[in-house]
Amino acid sequence: MKMNVERVWSILTALSVFAFLLGDLKLISTFLVAVLLLSTFIKGQLVIDYFMGLKEVQPKYRIIPTLWLSIVLSLVAAAYYLPVEKL
Amino acid sequence: MPKSLSVKEPYPPGDFAIWIIVYVELVTFGFLFVGYAFSRRVHLQMFNESQLLLNTNIGFINTLLLITSSFFIVKAIQKIKTMTQYNSYESSIIASKWLLSAMIFGILFLVLKLTEFSHIFGQGITLSTNTFFMFYLLLTMFHFMHVSLGVIILFNIYQKTKRQGYSAEEYRGLDTGATYWHLVDLLWIVLFPLVYIIR
């Protein structure tokens, strides 16, 4: 699906407001951290695809930042959710 | 031709060198983001307590500033790409105004960040205060330096655009500067929830 940049900006803004409200209203919970990370992935991918313009380019250039985003956010999730071993 | 079979561009926008820089910066910041997340596991209480000293409002406003400035730059590029020989002056002026707006938003980001740094340093906090502030200052100051460079780049492409230095056929320099700015935006999109929100 191809979106115009106005819609992309609106989604980015809405997701940023969502993240801010989670923090400001102290609503952040274990479950909502996963939702927040997912929304961060969506925001990052929108910037990669529509602002950086990689959606219209050969996939090998797009896959690098997409993989980066996936790996970093997965590791952040792992650090958050994996149980801490007691020494 | 069906959309799925549409031909993709062979190369990303801008100079190829900027993409090497983008990938290197992503990896560098990636290590810092993951380092922060795993350090937080070990010092959970200290990270949560220290995080309360940050100003989430400023972090949020800065997010909006960067996202919107990136949007302005895309609008400037769209204007240049669609200009013709008959409206090149008007298109260049409009595009330069989009770029000027993006630059002003970038400067506002820097001013707000300096306010935040001044508040943090005013409380006697330094890199060696604790692990949270070491990561916070390292990440945000490193990012601050990138935004500063981005503003300088924006100033240069703004001036060239105003002088009608780009055309619908040749705007590679504009694309290169824009790509750097979008990188700065992308990094902040991960940094903001990680450092300011997740607890």
pLDDT for residue B1? 42
Any A CB within 8 A of B74 CB: yes
Most B CBs within 10 A among A20, A29, A38, hence the mutation to make, goes to: A20
For chain B, what are the domain ranges? 56-197
Helices (H), B82-171: 88-122, 131-162
CA B23, B26, B30 angle in degrees (round to 5)?
Answer: 145
B58: tokens are 């400023």
Asked whether the beta carbons of B179 and B34 are under 8 A apart, the reply is no
Q: Which residue has the tokens 């959710």?
A: A81
pLDDT at A86 over 70: no
Report chain A's mean pLDDT, rounded to a whole number: 92
Q: Look at residue B69 and tell me whether its pLDDT is greater than 80.
A: yes
B66/B180 Cα distance (integer angstroms): 12
- Looking at CA atoms only, how far is residue A72 from chain B in angstroms? 6
Per-residue pLDDT at B5 exceeds 70: no
Residues in chain B: 199
Residues 6+ apart with CB under 8 A from B2: none
Q: Which residue from B68, B190, B198 is facing A9, i.e. has the nearest CB?
A: B68
Query: Could you say which of 3.40.50.720, 3.40.50.970, 3.10.20.90, 1.20.120.80 is the CATH number of the domain covering B56-197?
Result: 1.20.120.80
Query: For residue A1, what pLDDT is reported?
Result: 63
Confidence of residue B20 (pLDDT cuts 50, 70, 90): very high
Residue B36 contacts by C-beta under 8 Å, 6 or more apart in sequence?
A: B135, B139, B194, B195
Burial string for B60-95 (b: 16+ CB within 10 Å, else e) reads bbbbbbbbbbbbbbbbbbebbbebeeeeeeebbebb
Q: Is A47 within 8 Å of B185 when comparing Cβ atoms?
A: yes
Q: What is the pLDDT of residue A3?
A: 80
pLDDT in tens, B96-122: 999 999 999 999 999 999 999 999 999
> Is B97 in CB contact (< 8 Å) with chain A?
no
ipTM of the complex model? 0.94
Check whether B126 has a pLDDT greater than 80.
yes
* Least confident segment among A49-63, B2-16, B151-165: B2-16
